[in-house]
Amino acid sequence: MYREEIKVLDCTIRDGGLINNHYFTDEFVRAVYKSLTEAKVDYIEMGYRSSRKYAPPGDFGDWKYCDDNAILRVIDGIDSDIKISIMVDAHRVLEQEFKPVDQSPVDMIRIATYVKDIDKAITLANRCEDLGYETCVNIMAISAENEYDLIEALDQVAKCPTGTVYVVDSYGYFFCEQIEHFVKLFQTHLPGKRIGMHCHNNQQLAYANTIEGIRHDSNLVDGSLFGIGRGAGNCPLELLIGFLKNPKFNIEPILKVIQDYMIPMREEIEWGYMIPYAITGSLNQHPRSAIAMRNTEDKDKYAEFYSRIFGVE
């Protein structure tokens, strides 16, 4: 599949940070930045810009805050034209500060929001656009939203200057037919905006669903190295790059950083396809119950887990 407009965002540091409270070493972040630069990936997402009031220092590593200085420290000396993205939770915005874009290493701010917080997301998007940043609005957990409310939110976002709105399958619930439905729904209600795809791999469909989004003209797609991300993780970047036939991409630096860093890391922290995440995904539930049970002695008691949560939420 080749379409020049398709851009790829790597969310390794950001979504992966949800597993280890954002305690990645500078060496690792630097290696990822360097490899994605060489691979010609379009965007790297460094983490969240969280409020220190909501997320007290000491509980989290640097990539929970993504201060401009921290970003400048890890990219220092690496010649790169990759764009840097950070994420902000619309419902947890307090004193986060953003310098004007020309005084910051950040290029893009992605605003994660639930439908109920869409007004906060739009306010924040307006503020970031005014400062010169590219912005995205990522509407989470749409598989669990009332479609009437979702459409109302989309119609509001349509009037805001943000360039990209994401279809986010937070629970890893969708299969291809639903992806097609939502991408088309977003296109109908967001004329002129780019549609993004962020999929979770609970049912081993993150890559397939990303392809489905691309087939329906989604042009900003997320992946992560070896699929790292909370729970079952994300669309594996290595598969996505193999699929996109844009000759600018180079897969070898990606394979190298996976073998050097992700395989050893997978021995320390857990992500990827596991039965409890498949269960919550297939039941259209948040993975929190699966994450919790994976931290107990009963982490492999799948049948008991299933019978416990089936029909609960």
User: Tokens 């020309």 appear where?
Assistant: 102
d(CA 35, CA 7): 17
Task: Write phi, then psi, for 309 (nearest 5 degrees).
Answer: -95, -15
d(CA 244, CA 211): 9
d(CA 83, CA 197): 18
> Is 17 or 172 the residue whose CB approaches its own copies more closely?
172
> Using CB under 8 A, which of the segments 6-14, 15-23, 102-110, 301-309 binds its own copies?
301-309
Stretch 155-184 residues interacting with its own copies (CB under 8 A)? 175-177
Beta bridge partners of 176: none
Least Å distance between CB 221 and its own copies? 14
Least Å distance between CB 259 and its own copies? 5
> Is 19 or 257 the residue whose CB approaches its own copies more closely?
257
d(CA 42, CA 21): 25
Neighbours of 262 (CB within 10 A): 21
> Using CB under 8 A, which of the segments 2-10, 11-19, 106-114, 199-207 binds its own copies?
199-207
Angle between helices 118-130 and 147-157 (to 10 degrees): 20
| Ranges of H-type helices in the chain | 12-16, 26-39, 68-75, 118-130, 147-157, 176-189, 206-215, 237-243, 252-257, 263-268, 275-282, 288-294, 302-309
Least Å distance between CB 269 and its own copies? 17
Cβ(92)–Cβ(50) under 8 Å?
yes
> Using CB under 8 A, which of the segments 91-99, 117-125, 144-152, 275-283 binds its own copies?
275-283
Stretch 276-295 residues interacting with its own copies (CB under 8 A)? 278-279, 282
> Is 60 or 207 the residue whose CB approaches its own copies more closely?
207
242 is a contact residue toward its own copies (CB under 8 A): yes
> Using CB under 8 A, which of the segments 46-54, 112-120, 144-152, 267-275 binds its own copies?
267-275
| 201 to 240: interface string for its own copies, x by CB under 8 A | x-xxxxxxx-xx--x----------x---------x-xx-
Identified binder of its own copies from the candidate list 91, 141, 273, 286, rule CB under 8 A: 273
Q: End-to-end CA distance of the chain, in Å?
A: 39
Identified binder of its own copies from the candidate list 118, 124, 142, 258, rule CB under 8 A: 258
Nearest Cα to Cα of residue 2 among 307, 298, 247: 247
> Is 71 or 228 the residue whose CB approaches its own copies more closely?
228
> Is 190 or 228 the residue whose CB approaches its own copies more closely?
228
Q: What is the DSSP letter of 125?
A: H
The contact set with its own copies (CB under 8 A) reads 175-177, 201, 203-209, 211-212, 215, 226, 236, 238-239, 242-243, 251-253, 255-256, 258-259, 263, 272-273, 275, 278-279, 282, 300-303, 306-307
